[in-house]
Amino acid sequence: MLTLNVNGTDHQLDVDPEMPLLWAIRDRLDLTGTKFGCGRALCGACTVHIDGDAARSCSIMAGDAVGKKIVTIEAVSGKVADAVRSAWQQLDVVQCGYCQSGQIMSAINLLSDNNKPSDAEIDASMEGNICRCGTYVRIRAAIHEAAKTLA
Amino acid sequence: MTHQFPSRRAFLAATAATAGAFVLATFVPFPGRALAQGGPPPGPYDPNLFIRIGADNTVTVVVKHLEMGQGVSTGIPTVVAEELDADWADVRFEFSSNDTAHYNNLFFGPAMGTGGSTSINESFDQMRKAGAAARAMLVAATASEWKVPAGEITVASGVVAHPGSGHKARFGELAAAAMQLPVPTEVTLKPVSSFKLIGTRLPRLDSVGKTTGRAQFALDIRRPGMLTAVVRRPDHFGAAVATLDDAAARKVAGVVDVIRIPSGVAVLATDTWAATRGREALKIEWDLSKAERRSTAEILAEYGRLADQPGMSAIKRGDAAAGLGRAVKTIDAEFAFPYLAHAPMEPMNCVLEVKGGKAEMWAGSQLQTLDTFVLAKILGLKPENVAVHTTLGGGSFGRRANPQGDWASEAAAIVKAIGGKAPVHLVWTREDDIKGGFYRPLSFHRVKAGIDAQGRITGWRHTVVSKSILIGTPFEKMGIKDGVDSASVEGIVDTSYAIGDMSVELHNPASPVPVLWWRSVGHSHTGHVMETALDELAHLAGKDPLDFRLALLAAKPREQAVLKLAADKSGWGSPMPKGRGRGIAYHESFGTRVAMVAEVAAGDTDFKVERIVAAVDCGIAVNPDVIAAQLEGAVGFALSAVLRNKVTLKNGVVEQGNFDDYEPTRIGEMPRVEVHIVPSAEHPSGVGEPGVPPLAPAIGNALFAATGKRVRSLPMELGRTA
């Protein structure tokens, strides 16, 4: 039994502490907005925020997330999150959309640290998030757009 | 434990053949062919099948296709809303049931399905008629309610009005009565010139769900008591389980059952993690007697030998040999293409529940009818008792359209084995996906072509070696003619260019490695070969590559316009700095014409693609922004196959397994992409696939311009020429 604080609520879960956080979130809490893409922190589809930083939930054990604040795409909020979501919708970034929860969580993280990233800074920061549909042109544009809103 | 299971291939062939006998006798896989016959046949347009208008004024359009990113869940509602004169803000979408009689793809005969870039093409007229019929029914209901002549009623942005009397009502107030009326046998469609929604940039209907975590893919489906299954499949294609020791697996906490199925051994557990841990604990010995044991280098060497021998004739026009004899300059070029995995971000998965003689599957299926028959056959049910609920697909690129119904078959075998006692979520991991076959076929081409003293092509001899995608599937009957798989030679035999003396021969060697259509199918390699060889001939002739192509498209204004548009917007002909180059390519596939100009910066062993200028003619542009997105996306998708992607076998075992050794394009590698659409009033064709074929040759031709080195094979390795 362990306790995970997800989206502001403590959840008592009967899971092996070694279970990856991703599966605790998806299979036990049924929060399915966080996606499974590779299982090895190679694609970023499973990105969540842990104590405010972007993290790959597929490669963190649930036991190691105890006592930390975990936020998923369903509940991420605030000025930066609003700006990112709205830019994503305004520019219609999504295609299949499967990777976009992770893209958005990473973009929020980037803009929280850097309110005016250059293309090179965007590329460096978003390098760990794969989009197989190839929406990268619009991801860059949407991050610039969100930065404009936040300025 | 010596019971012999049939090999995966034999099993799949058997189920596929059965499904085929049921439904696909009249399948027409290639929209180009259908277009040549005068466009799609008419389909049902009863608005009650496709449109639901709520009392709250929402207009829900029932979409019969799979949304896998291509934007069909925005495009189809746009077409309906145009003729209905709906307010776009009120428009929603949902996916249809698998009622094949009403929701078939009009190009696919009596089968529901999404593929071949057909969706808008096949249903454009049908959806317009559905929208226009609903509009007419709203008008008729209003006329009788208000007792005014129907001809005096106007409809705009979801409001029905009678200006003379001042009556006005929104759709929601009238719909219940209107939808009861008889469906008009004839409807009047708007002239193209008065379109208000079609041709404008409307926001995607799936953007909000996909930016909030609310969008539901098959992997997100949860059913009460659901178990998760993962399958241990053999490392060698064509191998079968010889012995199984599942004692350790059964002891893993959360594991509920271990089941042998035709494709391997399934582990069922209460969650995904327990299932994968249970799978790791399986001890299996495999029977390799029918397995592929070769390495890809050996297979490719065999393909190279085959290319020097006579093959089946795919086309013979004029006398290519004599033409080559007349040539003053010739090329003799070889091209090799690797196996490629589709690697959609959402791995293969589906949920299957069987209760009281009925089955329900939730899946991002591209071929709902075929999957229905696969499930019905294995579960011993009538097809009408199998419901397929189409969910969003997390990418596909062709992988979710498997004529062999591989994942549906696995789920059915598992649920059958447990007697339907629980709903089962079959989940493939990324390793299962990359190692699991159904690849774009490994292919080899040899082209001998020549030009005369004026730089005109005198002859073209082309040999293709590629495993057939269609043989052994329900699509065989329509896709194979005289042994020739059209999916292996499309893009060559139907080239837009005027090449008079041409022969194309094909070898279809068999192999246990399963292959499948991969975004743009045969065009994914034939387009590259055609456009690279043409570029070589242009340089051999001392002609500008754009002019050389235009001369071969003399009587084809649409083709010429696309090439010229891309060239103009790219600044074609202006000088490039040293180390940089510009390359052009043009290819038509699925009825859509695309030209691309690539700009690259080349080093000794590395290169960067900096800019892509694309031009597209897909007929009427239903949503120009979605079209631009598909072209941008095609660049990102196809670039990974240019830069590095390949699936290789070593002694039959796949060497790649995840996104480290099969790494898609990342954001830092993505060039700037500019998309220009040729204005058109022609019947629309698809945009999901046609952006893929011209990308690689445009880049290769740009690399040649920059370095003088010709890199023919994919992926492009600068250290390697040809």
> Could you read off the pLDDT of A47-61 as tens digits, one per residue?
999 999 999 999 999
Residues of B in contact with A20 (CB under 8 A): 273
| Number of domains into which chain A is organized | 2
> DSSP letters of B251-269?
HSTTEEEEEEETTEEEEEE
Q: Please determine, for residue B23, whether its predicted confidence score (pLDDT) is greater than 80.
A: no
| Residue A26 sits in the same domain as residue A83 | no
pLDDT of amino acid B720: 53
Domain B40-212 sits in CATH at 3.30.365.10
Instruction: Report the predicted TM-score, pTM, of the whole model to 2 decimal places.
Output: 0.95
Given pLDDT bands bounded at 50, 70 and 90, which one contains residue B395? very high
Q: Please determine, for residue B19, whether its predicted confidence score (pLDDT) is greater than 60.
A: no
- Cα-based angle B395, B397, B402 (whole degrees, multiple of 5): 105
Percent of chain B with pLDDT over 70: 94
Nearest to B654 by CA among B343, B382, B374: B343
pLDDT of amino acid B8: 33
Residues of A in contact with B623 (CB under 8 A): none
* For helices B368-379 and B406-417, angle between their N-to-C axes, nearest 10 degrees: 30
Mean predicted confidence (pLDDT) in B454-476: 94
Question: CB neighbours (10 Å) of residue B606?
Answer: 11
Q: Please determine, for residue B35, whether its predicted confidence score (pLDDT) is greater than 80.
A: no
Question: CB neighbours (10 Å) of residue B528?
Answer: 31
pLDDT of amino acid B719: 64
Q: Please determine, for residue B168, whether its predicted confidence score (pLDDT) is greater than 50.
A: yes
Given pLDDT bands bounded at 50, 70 and 90, which one contains residue B479? confident
**Are the C-beta atoms of B170 and B158 separated by less than 8 Å?**
yes
Q: Tell me if B345 and A99 make a contact (CB, 8 A cut-off).
A: yes
Given pLDDT bands bounded at 50, 70 and 90, which one contains residue B38? low
> DSSP letters of B299-323?
HHHHHHHHHTS--EEEEEES-HHHH
> Could you read off the pLDDT of B49-85 as tens digits, one per residue?
999 999 999 999 999 999 999 999 999 999 999 999 9
Q: In whole angstroms, what is the distance from residue B34 CA to residue B717 CA?
A: 39
Q: In whole angstroms, what is the distance from residue B547 CA to residue B537 CA?
A: 12
| Residue A103 sits in the same domain as residue A144 | yes
pLDDT of amino acid B20: 38
**Are the C-beta atoms of B130 and B47 separated by less than 8 Å?**
yes
B366's tokens: 């591209």
CATH of the domain at A98: 1.10.150.120
Quote the mean pLDDT of chain B.
94
Q: Tell me if A40 and B208 make a contact (CB, 8 A cut-off).
A: no
* Chain A from 5 to 34: CB within 8 A of any B CB: 16, 19-20, 23, 26-28, 30-34
Q: Tell me if A98 and B394 make a contact (CB, 8 A cut-off).
A: yes
Given pLDDT bands bounded at 50, 70 and 90, which one contains residue B34? very low
Between B228, B253, B667, which is nearest A16 by CB?
B253
| Residue A67 sits in the same domain as residue A83 | no
Mean predicted confidence (pLDDT) in B411-436: 98
Q: Indicate the residue among A71, A93, A127 that finishes a domain.
A: A71
> Could you read off the pLDDT of B323-361 as tens digits, one per residue?
999 999 999 999 999 999 999 999 999 999 999 999 999
Q: Please determine, for residue B14, whether its predicted confidence score (pLDDT) is greater than 80.
A: no
pLDDT of amino acid B46: 97
pLDDT of amino acid B474: 82
B629's tokens: 């997105």
Residue B101, amino acid: A
CA torsion B511-B515-B520-B523 (nearest 10°) is: 0
Give me the phi and psi of B697, to 5 degrees please: -65, -35
Partners of B607 in the β-ladder: B602
Residues of B in contact with A6 (CB under 8 A): none
CATH topology of domain B296-341+438-707: Aldehyde Oxidoreductase; domain 4 (3.30.365)
| Residue A67 sits in the same domain as residue A102 | no
Q: Indicate the residue among A50, A71, A92 that finishes a domain.
A: A71
pLDDT of amino acid B15: 39
In 3-state terms, what secondary structure has residue B589?
strand
- Cα-based angle B324, B326, B328 (whole degrees, multiple of 5): 90
Partners of A47 in the β-ladder: A56
Q: Please determine, for residue B247, whether its predicted confidence score (pLDDT) is greater than 70.
A: yes
In 3-state terms, what secondary structure has residue B587?
strand
| Residue ranges of chain B assigned to CATH 3.30.365.10 | 8-22+218-289+348-427, 40-212, 296-341+438-707
pLDDT of amino acid B477: 80
For residue B684, whether the previous peptide bond is cis, meaning omega lies within 30 degrees of 0, is: no
**Are the C-beta atoms of B595 and B496 separated by less than 8 Å?**
no
Q: Tell me if A130 and B219 make a contact (CB, 8 A cut-off).
A: no
| Residue A8 sits in the same domain as residue A50 | yes
| Residue A63 sits in the same domain as residue A9 | yes
Mean predicted confidence (pLDDT) in B426-439: 98
Q: Tell me if B211 and A100 make a contact (CB, 8 A cut-off).
A: yes
Q: Tell me if B632 and A129 make a contact (CB, 8 A cut-off).
A: no
| Residue A8 sits in the same domain as residue A46 | yes
CATH of the domain at A41: 3.10.20.30
Chain A with chain B: Cβ pairs closer than 8 A? 178
Given pLDDT bands bounded at 50, 70 and 90, which one contains residue B232? very high
H, E, C per residue of B677-699: ECCCCCCCCCCCCCCCCCHHHHH
Mean predicted confidence (pLDDT) in B649-654: 98
B536's tokens: 């070589």
CA torsion B471-B475-B477-B482 (nearest 10°) is: -50
* Chain A from 56 to 85: CB within 8 A of any B CB: 72-74, 85
B471's tokens: 């043989």
pLDDT of amino acid A15: 95
- Nearest C-alpha of chain B: how many angstroms from A67? 22
Partners of B441 in the β-ladder: none
A111's tokens: 């803009």
Given pLDDT bands bounded at 50, 70 and 90, which one contains residue B473? confident
Given pLDDT bands bounded at 50, 70 and 90, which one contains residue B481? confident
| Residue A29 sits in the same domain as residue A90 | no
Q: In whole angstroms, what is the distance from residue B81 CA to residue B131 CA?
A: 6
From A71-75, B109-113, B196-200, the region with the lowest mean pLDDT: B109-113
Q: Tell me if B395 and A132 make a contact (CB, 8 A cut-off).
A: yes
Best to test chain A binding among B280, B626, B637, B667 (most A CBs inside 10 Å): B667
| Residue A119 sits in the same domain as residue A143 | yes
Between B344, B392, B630, which is nearest A132 by CB?
B344
| Residue A83 sits in the same domain as residue A29 | no
Q: Indicate the residue among A51, A71, A91 that finishes a domain.
A: A71
Mean predicted confidence (pLDDT) in B714-722: 73
pLDDT of amino acid B605: 85
Residues of B in contact with A130 (CB under 8 A): 345, 659, 664, 666
pLDDT of amino acid B475: 82
Quote ipTM for the complex: 0.98
Domain that holds residue A91: 79-150
Residue showing tokens 């693609």 = B609
**Are the C-beta atoms of B396 and B348 separated by less than 8 Å?**
no
B674's tokens: 């500019």
| Residue A58 sits in the same domain as residue A102 | no
* For helices A119-126 and A136-150, angle between their N-to-C axes, nearest 10 degrees: 120
Between A39, A101, A123, which is nearest B668 by CB?
A123
Where chain A has pLDDT below 50, the residues are none
Residues B8-22+218-289+348-427, CATH architecture: 2-Layer Sandwich (3.30)
Best to test chain B binding among A6, A92, A105 (most B CBs inside 10 Å): A92
Percent of chain B with pLDDT over 90: 91
Q: Tell me if B69 and A133 make a contact (CB, 8 A cut-off).
A: yes
**Are the C-beta atoms of B315 and B503 separated by less than 8 Å?**
yes
Q: Tell me if A36 and B344 make a contact (CB, 8 A cut-off).
A: no
